[in-house]
Amino acid sequence: MKKMAIFFQQLFDGKIIKNKNVLAQMSTDVPPNLEINYCLGIYKIRYAGLLGYNHGGELGIDTVYILQLNTSIAVVTLEAGYGPVAVEISKKIAGLLNRNL
């Protein structure tokens, strides 16, 4: 779990993909203005009112980078099918972090 958060942090810090144009393409809706906010391999999602870039799955995994906080969060539940629970936990963590700034 820690490695997932570190990967997302390093990805958005430009340490994995150094070309800012490629990272900008990754975080742009495909196609533009699509309701589900799908980008290239990641989704845009709101966490406690903050914009986050998320990748997760039905296996109970949520990894998110929150731009305004320059923070990555990774949550793993131990039951398949609990992806929405992991996202809700991430949202609560983001809210707590945002209040403490």
For residue 81, pLDDT over 80 is answered with: no
- Tens of pLDDT, residues 7-22: 999 999 999 999 999 9
Q: Token pair for residue 23?
A: 């990272």
Looking at per-residue confidence, does 56 or 74 come out higher?
A: 74
CA angle 66, 71, 74 (to 5 degrees): 85
Average pLDDT over residues 70-90: 85
Q: Tell me the whole-structure pTM to 2 decimals.
A: 0.82
- DSSP letter at 74 equals E
CA distance 65 to 71: 6
> Which range marks the domain in which residue 31 is found?
2-99
Mean pLDDT of 54-62: 82
User: How many domains would you assign to the chain?
Assistant: 1
* Nearest Cα to Cα of residue 60 among 36, 40, 85: 85
Average pLDDT over residues 61-84: 87
